[in-house]
Amino acid sequence: EPEVTQTPSHQVTQMGQEVILRCVPISNHLYFYWYRQILGQKVEFLVSFYNNEISEKSEIFDDQFSVERPDGSNFTLKIRSTKLEDSAMYFCASSVYRGLNTEAFFGQGTRLTVV
Amino acid sequence: SQQGEEDPQALSIQEGENATMNCSYKTSINNLQWYRQNSGRGLVHLILIRSNEREKHSGRLRVTLDTSKKSSSLLITASRAADTASYFCATDAGIGSGNTGKLIFGQGTTLQVKP
């Protein structure tokens, strides 16, 4: 069964460093998303991406964040200068949305720890 | 309160019992989805119920949706120890009219099933 894959599963970085989180969405999906979950809290929307551009972003997704689909398969989230409060689990998701009601499939997540 | 509030926050039952989790939301939706998350792991899609549906079944799962009350419930029948996880509802306003298919998650219900 097709699945969304994320790498790495766990990343430790020093405050101020840049990190890139990688995702391979399901191949025929058209809509891509990043979410994050701070430990013990709920899953929060960061950004949605369609047709090679950001279609919506939350207030969390400030200038330190960027997304890219560098080729036909990868979807990346970059944090330019990490802060301690960026420590969280980051989830990539994708959906096909050919109809009005389509499930979003999530990857296993990347646990980012900023020290 | 925010979109997608679940109750109870925590539920502990014996194996074989039924578990019921509730979710309330505030704005109009296209569909409502339930996800499961094992501790520290990814989000697994369980079931999607469309706004024009009232009830849906999948194996031991039964989901109801009451759009007049803006609420949904997830029932897990004959629970097993392996059902121990956190369960989240997520609402989707759909694509179009400025909506991008983003999901708004609730705080989740932590279910413990004792063997």
pLDDT digit string, tens, across residues A58-102: 999 999 999 999 887 899 999 999 999 999 999 999 988 655 567
pLDDT value at position B99?
Answer: 67
Question: Chain A contacts of B41, Cβ < 8 Å?
Answer: 108-109
**Contact check, Cβ <8 Å, B101/A104:** yes
Q: Is B31 near chain A, with CB under 8 Å?
A: yes
Q: What DSSP character marks residue A51?
A: T
| pLDDT tens digits along A28-38 | 898 999 999 99
pLDDT of amino acid B3: 56
What does the pLDDT read at residue B4?
A: 64
| pLDDT value of residue A71 | 86
Q: Before B8, cis peptide (omega within 30)?
A: yes
Structure confidence by residue, pLDDT tens digits, B19-54: 999 999 988 888 899 999 998 788 999 999 999 999
A33–chain B nearest CA distance, Å: 8
% of residues, chain A, pLDDT over 70: 96
**Considering only CA atoms, which of A10, A107, A42, A9 is closest in space to residue B110?**
A42
Report residue B99 CA to chain centroid gap. 21
Sorting pLDDT into bands at 50, 70 and 90, what band is B1? very low
Per-residue pLDDT, B62: 98
Q: How would residue B7 be classed by pLDDT, with cut points 50, 70 and 90?
A: confident
Of A41, A91, A102, the CB nearest to B43: A91
Compute the distance between CA of residue B65 and CA of residue B104 in angstroms, rounded to an integer: 16
Q: Determine what percent of chain B is predicted with pLDDT higher than 90.
A: 68
Taking the Cβ of residue A110 and every Cβ of chain B, the question of whether any pair is shorter than 8 Å is answered with no
> Contacts from A63-68 at CB under 8 Å and sequence distance 24+?
A67/A32, A67/A34
Q: Are A17 and A115 in contact, with CB atoms under 8 Å apart?
A: no
Does residue A23 surpass a pLDDT of 90? Answer: yes
> What residue of B is the nearest CA neighbor of A49?
B100
